[in-house]
Amino acid sequence: MDQSEFYKFEVDNLINELTSQINSNRQIYERVKEEEFDKKIHEKINSIRENLRHQIRTHKQYLAGLESGLISFSLTIPDDTSITKKDQLILMQVETDKKIVLNLRSMDILAKLYTVPWRTEQVKAHEIIRSMLLHESYFLGRNSVLVDFLGLTSLTNAEESWNSQQPPAKNG
C-alpha cells in the first residue's frame, strides 16, 4: 500500500468513525421525549435541545469550511429559531450530516488543504475530520450524562451491536 492509498484508508476510517458517532448522538436525541428536551441537570449545563442546536450550527460551520477551504467558527450561521420541534431539529441534523459525509467522501477532499483557526499552516482533511470526531465524541459524552439524568438508557449503536452478538447466558 503506497502512501496515498494509506492516507485514503485513514481518511475513510475517520469518516466511518465520525458517522458512527453522529448516529449514536442522533439515537440519543431520538430517545429523549419532546417534553424532556429542555430539562437541565444544572442551569449552566445545556439541555438536549441546546446540544442538538449547537451541533447543527457547528456542523453547518464545518460544512461551509469544507466547501470553502476555510474552517471558521466565527462564521455566522443562521440559527433558524422557527424550527423548535425535536423531529424538525433531528431532520435538520440528518440533512446537514448527509451533506458533510458526502463532501468528506468526495475524492477532492484528499488533495485539498484547509485553513483552520488552531494552526498557522494549512492542514489536510484528516485533521479536520479528527477535530469533528473529537467534537462529536464530546457531545456523545455530554448527551449520555443527560440521558442518564433523565432516567433513560444511553446505549449507543456500538453497545447495542455488541450486546446483540453475545451468546445468551447459560443458566447454571
> Is the overall model pTM greater than 0.95, yes or no?
no
Q: Whole-angstrom Cα distance, residue 4 to residue 125?
A: 13
Where are the domains positioned within the chain? Answer: 3-165
**What is the per-residue pLDDT across 104-127, written as a single tens digit (0 to 9) for each?**
888 778 888 999 988 999 999 889
Local confidence band at 164 (pLDDT 50, 70, 90 cut-offs): low
Report whether pLDDT(19) > 90: yes
Contacts of 117 (CB under 8 A, 6+ apart): 71, 72, 73, 74
Local confidence band at 170 (pLDDT 50, 70, 90 cut-offs): low
Q: Whole-angstrom Cα distance, residue 46 to residue 39?
A: 9
Residue 158 pLDDT: 47
Residue 5 pLDDT: 85
- Name the CATH superfamily for 3-165: dinb family like domain (1.20.120.450)
